């Protein structure tokens, strides 16, 4: 149990376009979802926390107008990278947790390449 | 104060040996300490986690040792296997935020 999926697994886009990444909890209801970014050979950096039905909370230094997060249901959160630039190229990973529990279950990640 | 410091950055162990990775934290409000394993191009997978009310937790070949007074915790991988070759991350969080703060990661290579 506790499976989290992400779609797409890889995406290549042109500079200036927007990209949407989906994160789904397949077998449990996720009251909280987290979005991370990971650059090559580096650790995971938390970008934002989203709770179902409310606005996401962004970490310091993360532009909320650039990285739009929507958590419309207990099983789906989306991250939209708007007006993407090459420096946004990274590995984006979501995680999900059940209400009142610490454990975060991670998705397989999405490799974004902006040309 | 929010940092979690992890060492070593890389580790090479012979098959059958013990791999030990250490982490240290400053924030005494942290109350949940998981370890994650990540293979290249994949998301992290939870290995084992501990809370501050116990000093050790063992699951199969993986053991967490926790020293609350020293604000340190470590992962021991017994009988290390080539399939254990991956990057390992420690992390810490507080219950009220749930936000995980990750260590820098340790790349483990287990030689046959």
Provide the pLDDT for residue A1.
67
Q: How many CB atoms are closer than 10 A to CB A98? A: 17
Both tokens assigned to A110: 């999405």
8 Å CB contact of B99 and A111 = no
Provide the pLDDT for residue B1.
60
By C-alpha distance, the chain A residue nearest B91 is A44
Minimal CA separation from A83 to chain B, in Å: 25
Rounded CA gap, A58 and A38, in Å?
Answer: 16
Residue B98 confidence class, pLDDT cut points 50, 70, 90: confident
Beta strand B19-25 with B72-77: parallel, antiparallel or unpaired? antiparallel
Residue of A106, A111, A112 for testing the chain B interface, max B β-carbons within 10 Å: A106
Q: What is the pLDDT of residues B10-63, one digit of tens each?
A: 999 999 999 999 999 999 999 999 999 999 999 999 999 999 999 999 999 999
Contacting residues of A for B36, CB less than 8 Å apart: 106
Specify whether the backbone of A88 is left (phi greater than 0), alpha (psi in -120 to 50) or beta.
alpha
Beta strand B106-111 with B10-14: parallel, antiparallel or unpaired? parallel
Q: How many CB atoms are closer than 10 A to CB A85? A: 11
Q: What is the pLDDT of residues A22-62, one digit of tens each?
A: 999 999 898 899 999 999 999 999 999 998 888 899 999 99
Provide the pLDDT for residue A100.
66
- Mean pLDDT score of chain A, rounded to an integer? 93
8 Å CB contact of A43 and B32 = no
Contacting residues of B for A42, CB less than 8 Å apart: 104-105
Contact between B38 and B91 under an 8 Å Cβ cutoff? The reply is no
Contacting residues of B for A46, CB less than 8 Å apart: 99-101
Contact between A56 and A69 under an 8 Å Cβ cutoff? The reply is yes
Both tokens assigned to B40: 């290249």
């Amino acid at each position: 149990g506790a499976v989290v999926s992400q779609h797409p697994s890889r995406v290549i886009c042109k500079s200036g376009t927007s990209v949407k990444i989906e994160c789904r909890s397949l077998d449990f209801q996720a009251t909280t979802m987290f979005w991370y970014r990971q650059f090559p050979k580096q650790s995971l950096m938390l970008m934002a926390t989203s709770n179902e039905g409310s606005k996401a909370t962004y970490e310091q230094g993360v532009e909320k107008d650039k990285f739009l997060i929507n958590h419309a249901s207990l099983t789906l959160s989306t991250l939209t990278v708007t007006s993407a630039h090459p420096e946004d190229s990274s590995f984006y990973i979501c995680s999900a947790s059940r209400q009142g529990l610490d454990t975060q279950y991670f998705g397989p990640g999405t490799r974004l390449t902006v040309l | 104060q929010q940092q979690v410091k992890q060492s070593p950055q890389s580790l090479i162990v012979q098959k059958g040996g013990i791999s030990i990775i250490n982490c240290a934290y400053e924030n005494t409000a942290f109350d949940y300490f998981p370890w994650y394993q990540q293979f290249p191009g994949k998301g992290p997978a939870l290995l084992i986690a501990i809370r501050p009310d116990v000093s050790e937790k063992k699951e199969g070949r993986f053991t967490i040792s926790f020293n609350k007074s020293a604000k340190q915790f470590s992962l021991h991988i017994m009988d290390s296997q080539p399939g254990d070759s991956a990057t390992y991350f420690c992390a810490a969080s507080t219950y009220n935020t749930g936000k995980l703060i990750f260590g820098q990661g340790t790349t483990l290579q287990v030689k046959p």
